[in-house]
């Protein structure tokens, strides 16, 4: 039995989300997306039954990106789904698994394999979390805790399918954006209450308890009122850097290169835009998941006390993690004793850039947006380059001047931007801000496209608001 037949046989026994016979109206798709987001937040606030304690882990910094919250049903979040994608991309990218993504059958095989692998990894990662000690079950509740964690991730997998087929955009992206937005809001505006014990933080709701104290705004006013003017650095800088990253991303979302094309028999001139963010946000998501799993692997090996491997993974884990609040420390303490953190920051940015370049190139190929795939699409649509023969090879030659270069440059840019924001301690983390702005921007673009095709009254209002 071939591998394709084996996957096909297994897929018959795995439930799936039936695609709609007719495309739902836009308002219906928005409702499905909103409902999926609500379910996501509910799952993230349901504590695991039978759990004794949770341990702070080196993965805490990645919780926002992986839409996870240790100690709840979303302890592993979208981690297994993203890791499954990473593994398969590595297999395809290295040529071990040969697939042609322009072939619908190969794309379907890839998606089915990814789904099966994601489900397997949900149980595997749940086992690791419990075994390593991130989660400590009550006596006799080991398998029950494991099952809850695994099923929470599987539910996210199916919610993603629902959003893709009935909603707007990608469920994974939607969950990340919602999680980041909630964390930023809570980190800045976490409320306080006055009681007999003094000022206490209101931290009900597991998903919203991202801060260890009052929101940055209230802490700033309290510190300045007490004459602690370093609060400008410790409380305002994280917000300021977040705003800077936000405006940079918004600006570069509108940067693109126009390639002139001629359309149809009328030879009407048009343009094929190649955006600066051609690689979208997927390389950063995959890089974050990869770095998180390096930290997880180090935690596993450290427990086993394997000398050489532990040392290697220690440094690998260290340099795939951004130093905490480097800029803040430089402002407060100067360069004295900061050589180690500066070196860590430089190596971290280099590694993040290299990983994003790899995943960016792979994503462009698998999404059918490389030069060859785009040239074939333009040729089938009756489009060609003015002044050249109507040959897809000619179009590909011209696209090769732009797409590979902008893929690499765009990958480096998003990596450096996300890494820099992480180093500065920006609210929501650099990756979180980058992904959220990109996700919301692309979601808006998709809604506008729906507006063009459906002429929805709701979208008319959104477009008029933009103007």
User: pLDDT tens for residues 368-385?
Assistant: 778 887 777 777 777 666
What pLDDT sits at residue 465? 46
Q: How far apart are CA 53 and CA 399, in angstroms?
A: 55
Q: How far apart are CA 243 and CA 216, in angstroms?
A: 14
Beta strands at 383-384 and 198-201: parallel, antiparallel or unpaired: unpaired
What pLDDT sits at residue 36? 92
What pLDDT sits at residue 54? 63
Does the pTM exceed 0.85?
A: no
The side-by-side arrangement of strands in the sheet containing 383-384 is: 268-275, 256-263, 383-384
**Of 126-130, 184-188, 351-355, 450-454, which one has max mean pLDDT?**
351-355
Structure confidence by residue, pLDDT tens digits, 278-322: 877 778 878 887 888 888 788 777 776 677 788 888 888 888 888
For residue 321, the 8-state DSSP code is S
Structure confidence by residue, pLDDT tens digits, 406-418: 889 888 988 888 8
Structure confidence by residue, pLDDT tens digits, 51-109: 876 655 556 666 777 788 888 899 888 889 888 888 887 788 777 888 877 777 888 88
**Mean of the pLDDT values across residues 429-456?**
73
Q: Which domains does the chain have, with CATH numbers?
A: 12-190+234-459 (1.10.3370.10)
Q: State both tokens at 335.
A: 């360069």
% the chain with pLDDT above 90: 12
Structure confidence by residue, pLDDT tens digits, 65-77: 778 888 889 988 8
What pLDDT sits at residue 144? 92
Structure confidence by residue, pLDDT tens digits, 200-253: 333 333 333 333 457 788 888 877 766 666 777 778 888 888 888 888 888 887
% the chain with pLDDT above 70: 81
156 versus 366: the higher-pLDDT residue is 156
Task: Please say whether the beta carbons of 328 and 357 come within 8 A.
Answer: no
3-state secondary structure of 272: strand
Q: State both tokens at 136.
A: 């400590």
Task: Please say whether the beta carbons of 213 and 452 come within 8 A.
Answer: no
Distances (CA, A) of 174 to 82, 101, 168, 181, 349: 14, 25, 9, 11, 26
Task: Please say whether the beta carbons of 136 and 50 come within 8 A.
Answer: no
What pLDDT sits at residue 203? 37
What pLDDT sits at residue 118? 93
Q: Count Cβ atoms below 10 Å from residue 445 Cβ, excluding itself.
A: 12
Q: How far apart are CA 195 and CA 203, in angstroms?
A: 14
The answer, yes or no, to whether residue 197 has pLDDT greater than 60, is no
What pLDDT sits at residue 204? 35
Q: Count Cβ atoms below 10 Å from residue 200 Cβ, excluding itself.
A: 12
């Amino acid at each position: 039995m071939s591998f394709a037949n084996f996957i096909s046989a297994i897929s018959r026994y795995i439930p799936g989300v039936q695609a709609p016979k007719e495309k739902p109206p836009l308002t219906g798709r928005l409702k499905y997306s909103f409902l999926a987001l609500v379910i996501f937040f509910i799952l993230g606030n349901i504590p695991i039954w039978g759990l004794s304690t949770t341990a702070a882990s080196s993965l805490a910094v990645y919780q926002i990106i992986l839409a996870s919250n240790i100690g709840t049903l979303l302890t592993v979040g979208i981690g297994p789904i993203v890791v499954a994608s990473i593994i398969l991309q590595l297999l395809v990218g290295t040529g071990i698994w040969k697939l042609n993504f322009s072939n619908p059958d190969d794309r379907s095989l890839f998606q089915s394999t990814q789904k099966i692998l994601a489900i397997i990894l949900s149980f595997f990662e749940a086992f690791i979390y419990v075994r390593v000690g991130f989660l400590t079950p009550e006596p006799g509740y080991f398998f029950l805790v494991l099952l809850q964690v695994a099923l929470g991730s599987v539910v996210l997998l199916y919610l993603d399918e629902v959003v893709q087929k009935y909603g707007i955009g990608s469920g994974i992206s939607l969950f990340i954006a919602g999680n980041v937005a909630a964390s930023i809001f809570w980190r800045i505006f976490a409320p306080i209450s006055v009681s007999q014990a003094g000022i206490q933080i209101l931290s009900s709701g597991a998903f919203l308890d991202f801060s260890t104290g009052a929101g940055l705004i209230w802490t700033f006013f309290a510190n300045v009122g007490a004459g602690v003017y370093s609060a400008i650095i410790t409380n305002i800088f994280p917000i300021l850097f977040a705003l800077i990253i936000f405006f940079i991303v918004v600006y570069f979302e509108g940067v693109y290169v126009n390639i002139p094309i001629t359309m149809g028999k009328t030879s009407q001139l048009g343009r094929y835009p190649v955006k600066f963010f051609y690689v979208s946000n997927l390389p950063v998501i995959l890089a974050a998941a990869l770095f998180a799993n390096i930290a997880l692997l180090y935690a596993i090996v450290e427990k086993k006390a394997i000398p050489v491997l532990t040392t290697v993974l220690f440094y690998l884990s260290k340099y795939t993690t951004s130093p905490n609040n480097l800029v803040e420390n430089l402002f407060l303490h100067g360069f004295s004793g900061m050589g180690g953190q500066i070196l860590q920051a430089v190596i971290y940015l280099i590694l993040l850039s290299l990983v994003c370049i790899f995943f960016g190139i792979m994503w462009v190929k698998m999404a059918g947006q490389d030069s060859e795939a785009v040239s074939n699409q333009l040729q089938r649509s009756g489009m060609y380059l003015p002044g050249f023969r109507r040959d897809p090879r000619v179009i590909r030659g011209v696209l090769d001047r732009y797409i590979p270069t902008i893929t690499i440059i765009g990958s480096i840019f998003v990596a450096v931007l996300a890494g820099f924001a992480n180093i500065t301690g920006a609210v929501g983390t650099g990756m979180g801000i980058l992904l959220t702005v990109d996700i919301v921007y692309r979601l808006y673009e998709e809604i506008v496209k729906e507006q063009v095709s459906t002429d929805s009254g709701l979208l008319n209002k959104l477009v008029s608001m933009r103007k």
